[in-house]
């Protein structure tokens, strides 16, 4: 088989680019320890009713004055469906799924997590502005995917 000079150059370039990209991903994942949001916390998706904090979904104030919100996603909604949190406080969302992969994306913020059964993902956010925030599922999860939403009301303290 005869390879033209330019084909060889482009093959070399393509192969080198592939190695560089895979190395970047590998170093980031294994050396720098990048994990899903919240680390690698595991949970049994069939036993959420008896696993804290998912046995009591909702907003919980912690001793240091910050808030933790436990959310369970399942086709096609979130539990709880509506919450209230104060403006200006740290709010840590802990989310997991009972069934399939969903997502937890708070519109107009940078909170945007995958929600994977068996895994706990978490993200902390401070809401500066009071108002209503919409949470949507942006991971296609079935026929009711487009109905899947939740609401956060951020109130002045």
Residue carrying structure tokens 């990048």:
34
* Binding-residue total with ligand CUA (CB under 6 A): 7
What does DSSP assign to residue 63? T
| DSSP secondary structure string for all residues of 25-59 | HHIIIIIS---STT-SEE--TT-GGGSTTTTS-EE
Of the pair 122, 139, the CB lying nearest ligand CUA is at 139
Q: Which of 49, 129, 140, 155 binds ligand CUA (CB under 6 A)?
A: 140
- Nearest to 70, CA basis, from 97, 106, 102: 97
What does DSSP assign to residue 22? H
- Nearest to 86, CA basis, from 73, 69, 101, 109: 69
Of the pair 91, 105, the CB lying nearest ligand CUA is at 105
Q: Which stretch binds ligand CUA (CB under 6 A): 8-16, 23-31, 49-57, 137-145?
A: 137-145
Cis peptide upstream of residue 76 (ω within 30 degrees of 0): yes
Question: Whole-number minimum distance, CB 38 to ligand CUA, in Å?
Answer: 18
Residue 135 found at the interface with ligand CUA (CB under 6 A): no
Query: How far apart are alpha carbons 71 and 69 in whole angstroms?
Result: 6
Q: Which of 117, 123, 139, 150 binds ligand CUA (CB under 6 A)?
A: 139
Question: Whole-number minimum distance, CB 77 to ligand CUA, in Å?
Answer: 8
Query: How far apart are alpha carbons 85 and 41 in whole angstroms?
Result: 24
Contacts (CB under 6 A) with ligand CUA, residues 7-26: none
Q: Which of 116, 120, 137, 154 binds ligand CUA (CB under 6 A)?
A: 137
Residues that bind ligand CUA (CB under 6 A): 102, 137, 139-141, 145, 148
């Amino acid at each position: 088989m005869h390879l033209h000079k330019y084909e060889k150059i482009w093959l070399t370039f393509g192969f080198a680019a592939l190695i560089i990209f895979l190395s970047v991903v590998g170093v980031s994942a294994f050396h720098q320890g990048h994990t899903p949001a919240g680390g690698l916390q595991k949970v049994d998706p069939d036993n959420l009713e008896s696993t804290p904090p998912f046995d009591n979904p909702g907003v919980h104030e912690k001793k240091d004055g910050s808030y933790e919100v436990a959310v369970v996603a399942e086709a096609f909604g979130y539990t709880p469906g509506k919450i209230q949190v104060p403006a200006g406080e740290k709010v840590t969302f802990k989310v997991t799924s009972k069934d399939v992969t969903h997502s937890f994306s708070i519109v107009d913020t940078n909170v945007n997590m995958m929600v994977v059964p068996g895994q706990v993902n978490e993200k902390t956010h401070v809401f500066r502005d009071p108002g209503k925030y919409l949470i949507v599922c942006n991971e296609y999860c079935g026929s009711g995917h487009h109905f899947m939403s939740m609401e956060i009301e951020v109130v002045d303290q």
